[in-house]
Structure 1
Amino acid sequence: MKEKEILKLVGARIRVLRKERGMSQESLGEKGGFHFSYIGQIERGEKNVALLNLDKIANALDVNVAQLFTYVNEEYEQTESDANVNEIIMMLRKSNPQQIAMAKNVLREIFNNK
């Protein structure tokens, strides 16, 4: 991988995750404890962000750090099914353990009755 290419890939991934959550750079910065201009520099691949800061950003985005490294392929177009699955995942992340267990049981019933 070319030098600094990883910075641009991670920055682009952070931008996609932020926009999927309807967050501005300001709101992500505030939630993660950073100035919005720092978030912009990261998203443009201008900053070599520390792992501890990546962890803070991931927490602010409500994802695990590994998801920051699932890079964006600019040629990839998200299907409606992909969008629906992502929406379900976001709902589950905001749910309590009992709601998650209930959702799992409902899905199990739906898929077992095919």
Structure 2
Amino acid sequence: MGTRTLDRRRLDSPHRNPLLERFGLAARRLREERGLTRDAVGVASGLSPVYIGNIERGEVNPTLLTQTRLATGLGIPLDALVAAAFGDDERDR
């Protein structure tokens, strides 16, 4: 079974989590706003560019340590990354 098959199954999973997708979209937006590639963030964070892509697509649940490394790679504090993903509207729920 090739990688594409595994990725497709992950993308089609009924267990996709909207919180992970929201976090990933915020990470991608912040990376793109800074003009950074996944490779550049990977070098700065010590994370694999493929894994960064998995985070950005909401396919994985990154640990707190991984979130911190990702924020470092983006050149921002972790709380700024979380705020970009969940902002004030999440506090009202």
TM-score, scaled relative to structure 2 = 0.69
Candidates 41, 44, 69, aligned match of 1:28 = 41
Whether 2:72 is the aligned partner of 1:59: answer yes
3-state secondary structure, aligned to 1:71: helix
Moved over 3 A (4+): none
Point out where structure 1 has 5 or more consecutive residues left out of the alignment: 73-114
* 1:11-33 residue CA offsets vs partner (Å, 9 max, x unmatched): 00100111111111111111100
* 1:38-66 residue CA offsets vs partner (Å, 9 max, x unmatched): 00000000010000011111111111111
Distance 2:23 2:81 in 1: 6
Residue aligning to 1:50: 63
Distance 1:71 1:54 in 2: 12
Distance 2:80 2:24 in 1: 12
- How many residues align? The count is 71
Point out where structure 2 has 5 or more consecutive residues left out of the alignment: 1-15, 87-93
Contact kept? 2:71, 2:78, Cα under 8 Å: yes
Q: Which of 1 and 2 has greater Rg?
A: 1
Across the aligned residues of Structure 1 and Structure 2, the Cα RMSD in angstroms comes to 1.8
**Percent identity (aligned):** 34
Residue aligning to 1:109: none
Whether 2:56 is the aligned partner of 1:71: answer no
Shift of 1:71: 2.4
TM-score, scaled relative to structure 1 = 0.57
Where relative contact order (Cα < 8 A, 6+ residues apart) is larger, the structure is 2
